[in-house]
Every structure is written in structure tokens, then in C-alpha cells.
Amino acid sequence: MNSIELLIKNFSSLPGIGKKSAARIAYYLLKADRNYSVSLANSISEARERVRNCSICGNYTENEVCDICSDTMREKNTICLVEMPQDISVIESTGVFKGQYHVLMGHLSPIDGIGPDQLNIKQLMERAVRDSISEIIIATNPSVEGDTTALYIQKLFEEKNIKITRLASGLPVGGDLEYTDRLTLMRSIQGRLPL
Amino acid sequence: MNSIELLIKNFSSLPGIGKKSAARIAYYLLKADRNYSVSLANSISEARERVRNCSICGNYTENEVCDICSDTMREKNTICLVEMPQDISVIESTGVFKGQYHVLMGHLSPIDGIGPDQLNIKQLMERAVRDSISEIIIATNPSVEGDTTALYIQKLFEEKNIKITRLASGLPVGGDLEYTDRLTLMRSIQGRLPL
């Protein structure tokens, strides 16, 4: 396999990139500015070397503790529980939440052999006690696995005097009632709010 | 900018990859097998270092002369003229053409300052004489620029006793007459063949 074939093969293993897109990218890189291709190659190596999980919440960071956990201005007694580190940046982009995060590193999925011990659940329980957490907002995905995980966490904390909430499911803003799927519409009716 | 942000920024500069896909790829790489991310980074650097243009036809190669030009089994007196090296692999995949290639490295585009001197046209004329070429198949893209370039080349060779042909335009095989655009349909009528 020559360099171009290897480049195409490697790119086509990335999520959302098929063989044609991979070829397009490979040929683009051959013509692109050399500084750019060097920077791209280096940024891949460096991200893998430098990025690790925050020792407190599990978020990606280049330090021992992530920026959010070390930010003294943020609320200390609310935790937003997410499945993956990348969920944090999406929630942060809303600017609405000013508390702490905790990353489960997945969701319960017995079929894939992922039980409570494979997720950062023990650390969450320790943290909840240590930091006298008053509310845990469960922001796992609104999927079967995410819901199951949310239910499991809620049961765990049942007698712990901690408020457990879940992100609301419902109509996406700017969406169209006509094109909303049945399950989402069901949830938005069940979760209706007084105006 | 931290490593993850840089990684996302770099990926989002690739063709066909927006900010969301870039983020998805970046987070995928952080979780992926370390060997894979090393191989991806290396293959980018190595392709840029090793790949150059064939000194005869302009195709991408890791040697002085590309595999096609050094293949003694191929017809020597027919040249297929393409815009870019990547066009060669598409034509090769048909298995129909067994001659030589010549890469223009673009198409005529006065608006972008690309005239005949910016393309490998002089080399083509020299090669045509040196290798006593009998036919040049012009396989530039069926676009305004590709057609203009084809016309220019055809005029250049007008009195040279070389057969100049152009790839046929027409209905894509498996396509539908109803959904064919007007220009393509016009060309397929003009280029109709006896059955």
C-alpha cells in the first residue's frame, strides 16, 4: 500500500467519512499548504499525548483538574451528570448552567457488558457526600440507555436527601409539531408546563 | 487554544468537514486506539514528504516516474489528458483505458489567473512529438472551464496530425431521463449514436 492509499484508508476509518470523502481529503492534503498538514498531523499526536480525564469529574483536560472543576466562581453544590466529556461543551455553550459536571463515561448497556462498575458512578456517590451536593441534574441522552441509566442513578440516590432532576424532553425550539416524532410529542405532553 | 480546540479547528479546515463533524472526529480520536491515531498522524506527514509528481505525466507517485508511465505493457501512443492526478485513479477503475496519462494540474481559468503557462501544456506538446502520440483523449471535466480547456488543446493540435477526442457527455447509466438536467440531455441528443 503506498502513502496515498494508506492516507485514504486511515481517513476512511474516521466517523462519518466514507471512501470518497477520504480520497477527497487525502488529495486535498497533498495540495494544501505544508504548514497546515504538519499542524494537522501534530495536533493529532499532541491531543492524544496531552489530553487526559480530569481527576475530579472525568472531563477532558490537559491538567490534573479541568478548567471547570478549578473555577472557584462556579456553584459547588450542583452536579450535571453527562455521559461523555463532549456533552459538557454543548451544555456550556448554553451558558445556563453554572455548576459542576460529572462524566459517567458511557451509559448502562448490559448487552455491551457495561454495568454500573464500568461507569464513574462510585466516584459520583463519593463526590456527592464529600462536596455536600444538593442537586444532581441527569443529562444522559434521551435514549433507552440514557433513560435507563438516569433511572438507575435516581434509585441510587433515593434516600440520600439530594434533589435528582432530569433534562426535559419535548419539542425542539424552532421545530414543527407536524414533523415531531410520536415519542417526543408524548413526552412534551406529559411534561407540559403552566403558562 | 488547547489541544482539543486545535484538533477540531484543524479538522474543520478539511473539505466537506464542518465544525460538528470535526468535533465528532476529534472526540473519536481521543477515545480511539492509540496505534490508529499515531498511524493517522504519520500517514499525513509521510504522504506529504514522499508523494511527488511523476516527471513524465504529473501523476502522484513516490518515485521519479509513476507506475503507469513505467509500465511497459501499456499502449505508448495514446494519451488521456486529465485535470488532476486523482482523475487518473477514477479512469483506471474502469479498466477500459490502457494508454498513457498526462495531468494538466488544473484547467484554464483567466479569472483565477490560470492561463496555458500555468498548466502542463508545454510538456504535453513536447511529449506528443517525442513519443509520436497518435491520439489524445481529452478527459477534462464536463464543466465550462473543462470544455474551454479542451477546446484550447484541440486548437493547439489542429495541424499536428494527432487525433483529438473528448469523453462523451450524456445520460448517466442507471439514471432517469425525467431527472436529467437540460444541458446533459442536450448533449446526449447531439451525441446520439446509431444502434
Indicate whether A137 pLDDT > 90.
yes
What is the predicted pLDDT for the residue at A172?
86
- Yes or no: say if A193 and A164 are a contact pair by the CB < 8 Å rule: no
How many angstroms away from the CA of B97 is the closest CA of chain A?
Answer: 21
What is the predicted pLDDT for the residue at A80?
96
Helix or strand run (H / E) with residue A184:
helix A182-190
Chain A contact set for B21 (CB, 8 A): 16
Q: Which CATH class is domain A55-194?
A: alpha beta
CB contact under 8 A, B25 and A44: no
In this structure, the strands spanning B78-82 and B100-103 are parallel
What is the predicted pLDDT for the residue at B6?
94
Lowest mean pLDDT among A111-120, A169-178, B133-142, B145-154: A169-178
Minimum CA–CA partner of A67 in chain B: B2
Chain A contact set for B50 (CB, 8 A): 3
CB contact under 8 A, A10 and B47: no
What is the predicted pLDDT for the residue at B171?
85
pLDDT band at A26 (very low <50, low <70, confident <90, very high): very high
Please check whether residue B58 touches A, CB under 8 A.
no
Cβ-based neighbours of B120, under 8 Å, separated by 6 or more:
B58, B102, B103, B104, B105
CB contact under 8 A, A25 and B14: yes
* A17, A36, A86 ranked by CB distance to B27: nearest: A86
Dihedral angle of Cα A183, A185, A191, A193, to the nearest 10 degrees: 170
Q: What is the mean pLDDT of residues A86-111?
A: 94
- Residue intervals of chain A classified under CATH 3.40.1360.10 are 55-194
Question: What letter would DSSP give residue B101?
Answer: E
Please name which of B72, B66, B33 lies closest in space to residue B52, comparing C-alpha atoms.
Answer: B66
- Outline where chain B has alpha helix (H): 3-12, 19-31, 34-50, 85-94, 121-130, 144-156, 182-190
- Yes or no: say if B149 and B108 are a contact pair by the CB < 8 Å rule: yes
Site from B3, B34, B45, B82 to mutate, A interface, most A CB atoms within 10 angstroms: B3
Minimum CA–CA partner of A10 in chain B: B40
pLDDT tens digit at each of 195 positions of chain B: 889 999 999 999 999 999 999 999 999 999 999 999 999 999 999 999 999 999 999 999 999 999 999 999 999 999 999 999 999 999 999 999 999 999 999 999 999 999 999 999 999 999 999 999 999 999 999 999 999 999 999 999 988 889 999 998 888 888 888 888 888 888 888 888 887
What is the predicted pLDDT for the residue at A169?
87
What is the predicted pLDDT for the residue at B194?
81
Of residues A179 and A65, more confidence is placed in A65
How many angstroms away from the CA of B14 is the closest CA of chain A?
Answer: 6
CB contact under 8 A, B51 and A30: yes
Q: What is the mean pLDDT of residues A35-42?
A: 95
* Mean pLDDT estimate for chain A: 93
Please check whether residue A93 touches B, CB under 8 A.
no
- Yes or no: say if A79 and A94 are a contact pair by the CB < 8 Å rule: no
Indicate whether A37 pLDDT > 90.
yes
If one counts every other C-beta atom within 10 angstroms of the C-beta of residue A103, the result is 26
Minimum CA–CA partner of B2 in chain A: A62
Q: What is the mean pLDDT of residues A27-44?
A: 94
Chain B contact set for A60 (CB, 8 A): 4, 30
Write down the architecture of domain B3-50 according to CATH.
Orthogonal Bundle (1.10)
Q: How many CB pairs under 8 A join A and B?
A: 117
CA distance A30 to A42: 16
What is the predicted pLDDT for the residue at B36?
95
CB contact under 8 A, B50 and A3: yes
Site from A21, A40, A66, A92 to mutate, B interface, most B CB atoms within 10 angstroms: A40
What is the predicted pLDDT for the residue at A141?
93
CA distance A149 to A144: 9
Chain A contact set for B105 (CB, 8 A): none
Read off the amino acid at residue A84. Answer: M
Please check whether residue B35 touches A, CB under 8 A.
no
- Residue intervals of chain B classified under CATH 1.10.8.420 are 3-50
